[in-house]
Structure 1
């Protein structure tokens, strides 16, 4: 199959097979993340920002039971007694370890029982006649939900102490001879989607947006470039910070990206249990929105807006249309982007030439989530589906939009239209950034 968008053209039999394969592939990743550590590690809370790994695992099963077994399948509830325990809106992450959670063996049995029932209903449930099941949307939603929690569990692995529990091959090399920035001409383009079968509600609907001329960094900001900001006293100079950012920097006593520490005259980082010198050519990761915005101001630039980011990533001036991805409409392949936990770190700047956008920018998909300057708000014509709690309850100025996915994001949960969001103080996510700027007077004349 050329792309997930082709789901609309699949026959029912092939669609069922595709759904089963995606569910199985996703569960393999969940098993890797939870089988890599012992039961004591699974029930431990490694940070108040994160749930115990065993909560995420059972929550994955609970959501699958609610939407696929009960709603789509019309079957009786398997464990109605635990609905409240695994409702993410009922209990904060910090409080979840005190709940009477399922233990590791019980959680594995539960998610296995749910999945067996789901595989049974794939072959018999109608995939049409109702929006929730059209093009197997509910199944795609659950695949994406599990993959999103897999990335959350990967972030928990980064926060845990102890020896490395996960392994992966190093990413491909970067490219040295790239322009520092690319020019993106202004004009209208189609933002969002109304055609992607498994797109989530906040990506919809497609709509026209005008963006003025701007320049965008060719790659995400690297560790080496960010070190220059640190060495220049960027963390100690309030000129570069917003009022909220400076207050946070002082309160949290920020001095560098999370997981960095100074060892004599060199910076080290901790990465999934490995302590290593900070690689200067990799995109910086584990920085907050406030740190990203301060760096951009220090560099004489700014963070791109969400619409600028999406135009750079999707708009093809040759055809005048918006692509699904920077490279085209086909689903990501390993040569396109660093996704899916295939590597446990960002690739060096300039990697993945086959994934370049028409404007010339690279690594817009994968490697690091990229902070934008935009608050998380609905698109014109937004309609919550299938439930308000996925997007609508988060809309507002409290959250900033991140785009593009990270090395821990699965391809199923990452598109050119996909929108992530988080508090501007968050640093445990695999987030970096790239800068933008408005052309100077006469620069493009």
Structure 2
């Protein structure tokens, strides 16, 4: 296949077109976030940015149970019921999502009261915990209708609406944080901006979901949704969604823990250097995110329709994503000295060596893009959880020792080992599993 035909193939492929649309919107929102992050770094400078980073890390870990895990777990179920135009089942699934999110939010809210004490014990500063609690409340507010609208747009193929929702989520909260920091409120302004933005997102998502009901009768209105949430038994879908959500949140935990653990042994200024290096590489890798989002629907369909094609597509997606992650990471590393000097300023130049240190982490990241969707498609998320639990069980003590012994370079080694080992073991297992099924 020559280059022209290959381009036409990708252009005409429905999945590729949807991915491209979602990537463009997601990348736009990510760029907004990146610009805001740069300005926040310049305004807060290393010490205050380090405090903000630790607060965000604590909040992210605390609010894992109401993160994207629930939404991704339900997407597979919702995709099947919507494909069958089963109004009753769709209503039950969305009611379950609303109910489980409500109870998860209550648990997180209670736990957030202990964050000041936890922050005081870990970092010697309870104010970090107070900031984290504010962010937790913002996460709770932005979760209820956002997850409903997100899942609904995903399964109905409304990629433009989904893209719009993602851009709002990515840019609104960070933009308001910047405004309040510029107004002189410091770290308090940064976290309060997330709270105000979450409130706006809560209202916007509810309106988008209501509008979807008008266009598509398969979905319930808000009144029916609340009635369904009250009556639905958590046991009905809990067995499946619990493991899927736990698997997805293991990935979020992998992302949140490095900054939290780093802050135990180094100064808050040094935390900001690592956080910017880690965030910079992940910004480059964010182009891979939409691929994983769409695979959550694509892989379950292929698992039912064509298992041989499922294995083939998994290999292709993984290898293409690996090639893309290598390109993105190498490019990011090469331009990092100039990028940090121009955008962040000389006070953050100590981050540059750690960007180069993360090159192996970033290069191998792409092979993990299809792992989560595939685990869910073949209903083997428990294996994924087992693999990642063992890695974290061994990796956290190792990581703490590395950070204590080698400072930020210990953090770089820890991140590289965690992600690379997890992705490679999971990929090899899945390839063998799919080959056995097709053999």
TM-score, normalised to structure 1's length? 0.31
Tell which has more relative contact order, 1 or 2 (C-alpha 8 A, sep 6+).
2
Instruction: From the two aligned structures, give the one with the greater helix fraction.
Output: 2
Q: Which has the higher strand share?
A: 1
Q: Normalising by the residue count of structure 2, what TM-score does the alignment of the two structures yield?
A: 0.31
